[in-house]
Amino acid sequence: MTATASSPQTARGPKGAAARPPVLRLTGIRRSFAEAEGRLDILKGADLSIGAGEMVALVAPSGTGKSTLLHIAGLLERPDAGEVHVAGQACSGLSDDARTAIRRNDIGFVYQFHHLLPEFTALENVMMPQMIAGLPKPVAGERAQELLAYMRLGARASHRPSELSGGEQQRVAIARAVANAPRLLLLDEPTGNLDPHTAGYVFDAVQALVRASGVGALFATHNMELAARMDRVITLRDGLVLDL
């Protein structure tokens, strides 16, 4: 199946999801940081599992390790102990190159600040990760156009980020994050910088995308209203993941 404006998935859609392993499984994750006064134990054996098409809210006080957990799940950092499975693959023993390949192909990231490339158009920003992954330019362009249309940004494709509103920029960043049809989408307070109305609008776009594509999403937020609309809410307490 190819991506269309009404269905952003690719060959890896939600069909057969029940038979598949979780898109993310963290087991016994430990992470400490060295400090002048000693060691700061942030994660102390955290476990977490996210299925295909599932949207999980991560709500926890500042400094409890949300970003650390997202970085470990996204293979940007290695835990001190524990295992990270992405789409069934154990990642701790893999080389940096193999981890980078999984990050590029199977994981999408959205941050509080969009980090779009300012000198490129919305379309080019969404094409970029696909071209890095080796897709021919026309194919990348067609999928980028479809994704922007899905995010209701079809008419804004040729605009540069500075010509877009904050909510529009964030929707371009979401389109870019799913451009390579990842299995796992990690969002670190993607609505934290937006007014409540725009935050709701951006959230709706992510939710529609998750439902249509079957990507599993871990969404860190301080917004309890948005968290309540997700399938599950988790928190971090004493270095462990707990259901709320």
Angle at 52 between CA 18 and CA 127, to 5 degrees: 140
Nearest to ligand ATP of 168, 188 (CB atom): 188
Query: Quick one: 72 or 174, whose CB is closer to ligand ATP?
Result: 72
Nearer to ligand ATP, 60 or 127 (CB): 60
Helix (H) or strand (E) holding 177: helix 166-177
In this chain, which stretch among 56-64, 93-101, 124-132, 177-185 interacts with ligand ATP, using CB under 6 A? 56-64
Tokens found for residue 17: 């999801």
| Residue with the two structure tokens 């999984």 | 102
The smaller minimum CB distance to ligand ATP, of residues 140 and 226, is found at: 226
The reply on whether position 33 binds ligand ATP by CB under 6 A is yes
Tell me the window of 6-14, 16-24, 65-73, 92-100 that interacts with ligand ATP (CB under 6 A).
65-73
Minimal distance, residue 40 CB to ligand ATP, in Å: 6
56 vs 31: CA distance, rounded Å: 22
Sign of CA dihedral 13, 128, 73, 58: negative
Nearer CB in complex with ligand ATP: 65/190: 65
Binding of residue 62 to ligand ATP (CB under 6 A): yes
Are 108 and 182 in contact by the 8 Å Cβ rule? The answer is: yes
Does residue 65 touch ligand ATP according to CB under 6 A?
Answer: yes
Beta bridge partners of 55: 217
64 binds ligand ATP (CB under 6 A): yes
Name the burial class of residue 128, with classes exposed (0-12), middle (13-18) and buried (19+) by CB atoms within 10 angstroms of its CB. middle
CA dihedral 18, 27, 228, 169 (to 10 degrees): -90
Structure tokens at 122: 């919305």
Least distance (Å) between residue 65 CB and ligand ATP = 4
CA dist 104 and 100 (Å) reads 6
**Tokens representing 126?**
């969404």
Closest approach, Cβ 33 to ligand ATP, in A, equals: 3
Q: Shortest approach of ligand ATP to residue 194 CB, angstroms?
A: 16
Q: Which of 23, 24, 26, 42: binder of ligand ATP (CB under 6 A)?
A: 42
Residue choice 12, 24, 57, 67 for contact with ligand ATP (CB under 6 A):
67
Tokens encoding 162: 């500075």
Residues interacting with ligand ATP, by CB under 6 A?
A: 33, 40, 42, 60, 62-68
